[in-house]
Structure 1
C-alpha cells in the first residue's frame, strides 16, 4: 500500500479554496482512456432481489462493462467497524439507494442509459422506519438489530434526584442530517498494469480505505495505492468507502481508468448521514441552582448498516453526560 499526494493538482492553500480553484479528484477528466461509471440503486427501502438482468445493458452503445454482485472479486462487504454493507447487493436491498449493479462506458450519458435497461424484479418487504421498533423485530441481517449498547454510571442518581428542589425532564428528537459538502463523492480508479489499482479519491482515511479495498478486490495490500487528494469537505461523510469499490471493480474489468462521481441528488440519497437521536433527558438541581443529578436515555438510529455507529454512540455518551 502506498499513500502520497497527487502531483499536478491545484494548490491546497486557503486562497485556492476561497477562489474556487482547488482541484478535486473528480476534476481529472483528461486521463487517457478514461471511462465513466454509474451505479444502479434500489427503488425500495427493503426488498428481496428476485432477478437482475443486465443482458440489454451489455449491448448498449459505448458500454465497456456491466457488473453485479457476482463480479466482486473478493469480499462483497465493507464497513469501518463491522463489514456488513454489500458493495453490490446479492439477494436483498436494505435502504433506498442500495447499490445493485454498475456500468462503465465511454461517456456518462451512455453509462446512465445502460442503467435504464437493467431489469430488476423486486419483492417488497416491510420497512422499519422507527429505531424503537427495530430491537423488537427479527434481525434484518446479522444476529441482532441492536448494533451497540453503552452506558456510564457515576454515583447514586436516584438518591441525588430525591434531594433535588427542581427536576426538569424533556424528550428531544434530532433529525437525520446530511453532511452536504461542496465536493460530492467521487474519484478515479486506475489499473497500474501490474494487476493492482491506484485510487485518486477524496477520502478521510486512505490507510483504512486501502485495507478494505484490497479485500474487496481480492488483491494484496501492496497492490492498492490510495493517492490523497484535496477534499471539499467531509465532516464524517467520507469516513466510509463511497464510490471506490465499484470504481475499482470496473477498472479491473475493463483494464482502463474509471471515474465515478455522484451528483448532488445521488449524494443525498445514498450518503452516510448523521444519526437521528431520541433522547429523554432529566436534570435536577437544589434550591440554589446547583445541579445534583443528571440522567440521559438515548436511542440512536444508525440506519441499514453499521458504518461508524458504535463510535458515534461513544461520542454521544461523552457529550451528553
Structure 2
C-alpha cells in the first residue's frame, strides 16, 4: 500500500455495497494502479457498471465531489456522475458511474496522436463550464462551491507556505534537509512563480488540477471521460500545463491555443500564462517527487523549470 492508501479487502467492499444497495454486487474487482492515496474497485449492480473509491477524505470532501460531478456532468463534460457516498471505519467512500475505457497513458503512441483533437476539445469543454454566479473565490473548491481564497496570489502563497498543519504538506520544509529537494532551486522558481502570477491572477475558471494522462480515459479511438479532479478555481492554463506532455511528438499546448482561436475564444497572454502555470504545477511536482523519493523525475522536472523564462 502507498502512503495513506486505504487497505480495503474485497470482502469489505462486498459488505459495504451490500449495505449500501440492499443487494449483493457482481463482478467486484480491484483496479490495479489507482494512485497513492485511494483504493478503487469496479463492480456491477443491476446490469450497470460502477466504481467505488475509498480514501481518507476530509469531512465534507464528498459534498465537494458531488458538487463537481453535478457541475461538470450537467454541462456536457464526460465526467462520472456520483451515485452515493458513505463511511467505513476511518475511511470514506464514494460510488460513481463507471466510464468505459482505459487510461490515456496506456494507449499506443499512434492512438494518442490520433486523439489529440478530441483531447483538446474535451478538456476545453471542461475548463469553460459556467460557474454558478453565487460562488466566489480562488484556489481549492470547497463543499459549498466557493474557492478558499479571495485572490490567486493569496492561494499560491498559502499553498506553498511553510507553516501548514493538517494537510499532506504539513512540515514539508523538512524535505530540504531529508530529501533531494534543493532550497535554492525551489526559492528561485517560487520567485519566478510570483512574477508570473500576475498573468494568471485575473482568470477564474474550473481547473481539474490533476489533468494528466492517468486521469483521462479512452477506448483507443476517442476520449471517453475525465476522472478524479483535485479542483481549483483559477486559470485553466494550469490544466494545459499538466497535460501538455501526454501526446508524443506533438505540441499539445499549441493545439489548445489554435483550438481556442477557432472557437472564437482566443487565449490572451498565452505564453506568459502558460509559463506561470508551468511554475505552479512544477513547484508542486518537485516537492512531491522529493517526498516520494522519485529522484530521477525530480531532476528532470527541476531542469525543465530552470530552463523556463524568468520574465516577459
TM-score, normalization: structure 2?
0.28
Which has the higher Rg, Structure 1 or Structure 2?
1
Higher relative CO (Cα under 8 Å, sequence separation at least 6) belongs to 1
Greater share of residues in helix: 2
